[in-house]
Amino acid sequence: MTVALLEPGPDDHHFMVWTPTGVAKLAVEAGPRNYEYRTVPQGALNHRTSFQPRGKGLGGSSSINGMVYIRGHRNDYDRWARLGCAGWSYEDVLPYFRRAESNELRARAREPVSRRGRPAVRERPAHAESL
Ligand SMILES: Cc1cc2nc3c(=O)[nH]c(=O)nc-3n(C[C@H](O)[C@H](O)[C@H](O)COP(=O)(O)OP(=O)(O)OC[C@H]3O[C@@H](n4cnc5c(N)ncnc54)[C@H](O)[C@@H]3O)c2cc1C
């Protein structure tokens, strides 16, 4: 199967895209990788407009984002399950989070962890016992 991907922006082979701190430049400055949207005046902002960066080009907004990784909130998943999404409770999806993460806490516990190219979990959160 061949898929044609039409993009108005450039490809993502650029060191500013691969660098986490690149967000400081790519997200706020004019350039070919950012749509640089502005909202219409917002009543809740005293009728000011708001800058809304969005990625343009292969990779979309992930080409200009901060590369911060966080699991979704437990309550959201549990709510989806209560609404009828079988298999979407937090306990259901937790094994998939763990499989996708390179979790140093679990590495120390000699549990199998993923490595290269996976989000690294390094900090010990307040609720680490549930990890
Ligand atoms: C500055 C910034 C920082 C962020 N930081 C983080 C972070 O640290 N961690 C995190 O998890 N999330 C972060 N996000 C959010 C995350 O990057 C986005 O939620 C995610 O990339 C959205 O993916 P998407 O596929 O829905 O949309 P997008 O990635 O925006 O993809 C939309 C695609 O469609 C293309 N497109 C749009 N219009 C047209 C058109 N008319 N013709 C052809 N192509 C078109 C665009 O070029 C783009 O490639 C950040 C977002 C921004 C903008």
Does 120 have pLDDT greater than 90?
A: no
Ligand 1, from 62, 68, 97: best to mutate by most atoms within 8 Å of Cβ?
Answer: 62
Does 52 have pLDDT greater than 80?
A: yes
Same domain, 56 and 37: yes
Host domain of residue 49:
15-63
| pLDDT level of residue 80 (50, 70, 90 thresholds) | very high
Q: Is residue 4 part of a domain?
A: no
| Residue 113: both structure tokens together | 């962890």
Per-residue model confidence as pLDDT tens digits over 82-97: 999 999 999 999 988 8
Ligand 1, from 25, 61, 69: best to mutate by most atoms within 8 Å of Cβ?
Answer: 61
Measured from CB, residues less than 6 Å from any atom of ligand 1 are 6-9, 23, 27, 53-57, 60-62, 64-68
- Tell me how many domains the chain contains: 2
Say how far residue 42 (Cα) sits from the centre of its chain.
26
Q: Is residue 2 part of a domain?
A: no
Global pTM value: 0.76
Q: Is residue 90 part of a domain?
A: yes
80 φ, ψ (degrees, to nearest 5): -60, -40
Q: Is residue 47 part of a domain?
A: yes
